[in-house]
Structure 1
Amino acid sequence: MSLLIVPGDDHLDNPRLAPDWNLYRHILYSRGYALLTFRDIKLCQQKVWEGRRLQSLTHPKSSRHHPQQAPLDENALCRDAGLPENMFRGVSLRDGRKVIVKAVHTRSRELDVLRFLSAPSLRLDPMNHTIPVLDVVEIPADHTAFVVQEEWTRQLHTERPSNLRKFLRLIRQCIEVIVSLLFGHATQCSGNLIVFFQGVAFMHSHGVCHLDMSLRNILTDGNGRCAFIDFELSRRLQRGQDVRICGRLGTEIPKELDRGEQADPFKVDVYALGAIISRACQLTGYNVPELTQLIGPIAKVQPEDRPSARSLLRAFDKMVPQLGETRLSMASSVPRP
């Protein structure tokens, strides 16, 4: 029997929260995480603009961390206007690293998927490209959980990879994310970056469909690793479960969903992957005809004709060595801004 996923079918357990962060700041602090205050932002600005006149916190160009007027108490929380209400910037008291705290419902799919992907057995998997979960602080009485993760950045939007090799490395990781979500565990061979997959018996043994893959949901740690974020629409499916989705889910929507038809959620993720690669090439200025040819079949109207994520990864790994060292070392043709 097939399962049909309809947008909003579980809105009671999967809402986007808007917590009063002041009610929970001390609980988070007791767990080792301090939410950013106006004093923190002021000190940060002083370091950036050392020797210059510090602009007012209420000036719209001085920082995204600003309310309508500056508070009298510098210990007041300073929310980043660039983040949704269910997210807050903070710092780990143990090692000083920057973190993002996200409030989710305790019965939400997002919390279920993040916990699953952060399990020790999957965390050690080299193909697991999700940001590590440092902690989950649950408030059962409020049906709220605070997920604490490292703060990563949108490198493709802020810093173009310096050569084609580094760009393709990021693209490969994007493909790896989908393959690892679809097929579960993988192994490494002789320390090589090429990942070999276990047999068909493991297919879909840990089936997760993201359903909102886009460039804005890809972050990097600044050291060459990238990860997908935002699992609010994601689903974790049982082995062998026949699932179809309908309606407009996520950002990159295939034509079959636009036509009101039902679709395989994993094929929807593959379609989104093709759109991500195409947009990344345009954004960074890396024009690779071989890569364009590789992702061409993804946009096919008939979903069943789209390649699987695993076959894409194999084709990608076959393509890269054929480009040659000279091309792989080339910088983007688009000048830096």
Structure 2
Amino acid sequence: MSARATRSGSEVEWSSVYGFMKERGYTLRPRYHPDWEALWDSNELSSFSCEDRIVQRHAFCLDATGLDGTPVYIKKVDRRKHPSEAAIAEFLSSSTMMSDSYNHTVPILDSFAYTKDPDIYYLVMPLLRRFDDPPFTTIKESVDFVYQTLQGLTFMHEHNVAHRDCSAQNIMMDARDLYPNGWHPMSPWLTPDVKGFVHPRKNRCDANIKYFFIDFGLSTRFAPGESHLVVGAKGAAAAPELSREVSYNPFKLDVYLLGKVFQQHICQPYDGVPFLDPLMKDMTAFRPDDRPTAKDALKRWQDICESNQASSMRRWLHKRGESASERLARDIILSAIYGYTKLTSA
């Protein structure tokens, strides 16, 4: 993010709750201290060497550090605009829910209302990375991503929660095993002190990776027996049925949106995972009634994976259009980075 010696309006708002967050056990970065002055202004330093040059990415989200030094992510929720978001997130993150291995919704570590405005609510979550950063390198990695996200969607639907915005930007991963020394929350390609670049220490195949759905601002939780029909056209990704006037089934919308993630981030950019294509195409069928349920999609994926040889799963993924020489060069580079002699070319 570019350097800026003055804070934006949303940054000033976060600065105003610095003390409140401190009382709750969370310390915002120096840039958000009420008395902040740009280090590069006062010390004649280059802004690129100063951590406090990094600005926030989203007005309603900011990173912080807990009492034990753990980095966290705090989301500000205005319950006047999103009356159900916090309640759904907390419901899915309850101790009973979190004990279910199919639960891939982001854990809520802490939550509290702002003392000066009870309609402003803060959700504290672990610091996560985008699911595709770093990119997939082996077939097994993409297979595991599909498996975990279908598990997560099945879990939400079985508990009568429709996400309604489960597009790529709302799927994250716990990447601590890849980056044991961390990364900068707002510039994830940099080290926490912005002095250098981060690199994954291992391949995802040998890391403990878990994927999570985040952002329940558009989500709906249905009561038992309640009609599963909604209206609304908001969301980061388009879908055929989205409408402000004609009702539709949001569970089938979720299946479509996740299918588009598989299409755009696995099937289209990579060779080597053709066995995902039939399921992806069914999930993204134009007519909602032609799409499988999340549970059925998960069962199909389990059957597909069982019918493919386990040895083929650890092959390198290749980008579509790569020449034989490019593939060979990429295989050599990846093997040098991760030290895998077992992996073969797909």
**In structure 2, what is the equivalent of residue 84 of structure 1?**
58
1:178 to 143, 153, 159: 153
> How many angstroms does 1:306 deviate by?
1.0
**1:114 Cα shift?**
0.9
Distance 1:252 1:113 in 2: 21
Structure 1 residues 239 and 33: alpha-carbon distance in aligned structure 2, compared to 1, 3 A threshold: same
Contact 1:19 1:85 in 2 (8 A): no
Select 2:295's aligned residue among 299, 306, 310. Answer: 310
Question: Among 259, 262, 266, which residue is 1:274 paired with?
Answer: 259
> What is the match of residue 73 of structure 2?
100
Q: Which segments of 5 or more consecutive residues in structure 1 lack a partner in the other structure?
A: 1-16, 41-53, 67-77, 184-205
- Does the 8 Å CA contact 2:257/2:284 hold for their aligned counterparts? no
Deviations 1:279-314 (A, max 9, x none): 121576254221101222222222112110000000
- Whole-Å Cα distance in 2 between the matches of residues 155 and 275 of structure 1? 15
Give the corresponding residue for 2:20: 27
Structure 1 segment 27-106 matched on structure 2, within 5 A:
27-38=20-31, 56-57=46-47, 66=53, 80-81=55-56, 83-94=57-68, 96-106=69-79
Alignment of 1:283-294 (within 5 A): 285-294=270-279
User: For residue 255 of structure 1, what is the amino acid of its counterpart?
Assistant: P
**1:324: how far off?**
0.5
Q: Which amino acid letter does the alignment assign opposite residue 124 of structure 2?
A: V
Change (3 A) 1:329 1:210: same
The residue type equivalent to 1:131 in the other structure is V
Deviation at 1:147, TM superposition (A): 0.9
Segments of 5+ residues of structure 2 without an aligned counterpart are: 1-9, 34-43, 176-207, 320-329, 335-346
Distance 1:105 1:247 in 2: 19
Per-residue CA deviations over 1:150-188 (Å, capped at 9, x if unaligned) read 1000141x21233211221111111111100011xxxxx
Q: Confirm or deny: 8 A CA contact 1:170 1:224 kept in the other structure.
A: no
Find the residue that maps to 2:65 and give its secondary structure. Answer: strand
Kept in 2: contact 1:136–1:146 (CA 8 A): yes
> Could you tell me whether the CA contact under 8 Å between 2:231 and 2:244 is conserved in 1?
no
User: C-alpha deviations, 1:32-60, integer Å up to 9, x for none?
Assistant: 111111499xxxxxxxxxxxxx9623x5x
Number of residue pairs matched by the alignment: 269
1:152-167 to 2 correspondences below 5 Å: 152-156=128-132, 158-167=133-142
CA root-mean-square deviation: 2.8
Equivalent position to 1:134, from 90, 109, 113 = 109
Which one is further off, 327-336 or 215-224? 327-336
Relative to structure 1, is the Cα distance of residues 231 and 18 closer, same or farther in structure 2, using a 3 angstrom cutoff? farther
Partners of 1:132 and 1:325 in 2: CA distance: 31
SS in 2 for 1:88: strand
Structure 1 distance, partners of 2:300, 2:167, is: 22
Q: Any conservation in 1 of the 2:267–2:277 contact (CA below 8 Å)?
A: no
Residue by residue over 1:105-164, the C-alpha shift from the partner in whole angstroms, topping out at 9 and shown as x without a partner, is 2462110111101111001111111221111121254121111111000141x2123321
Q: Is the 8 A contact 2:232 2:244 kept in 1?
A: no
Higher relative contact order (CA 8 A, sep 6+): 1
Q: Which residue of structure 1 aligns with residue 169 of structure 2?
A: 216
**TM-score in terms of structure 1 length:** 0.72
Which secondary structure does the structure 1 equivalent of 2:74 belong to?
Answer: strand
Q: Is the Cα contact below 8 Å between 1:101 and 1:148 reproduced in 2?
A: yes
| Deviations 1:203-250, CA, capped at 9 Å, x for gaps | xxx211111111111111113100011111111111121132334221
Give the structure 2 partner of residue 195 of structure 1: none
Q: Percent identity?
A: 25
After TM superposition, the score normalised by the length of structure 2 is 0.71
**Matched residue SS, 1:323:** coil
> Which stretch shifts more, 243-252 or 208-217?
243-252
The answer to whether the Cα contact below 8 Å between 1:106 and 1:140 also exists between their aligned partners in 2 is no
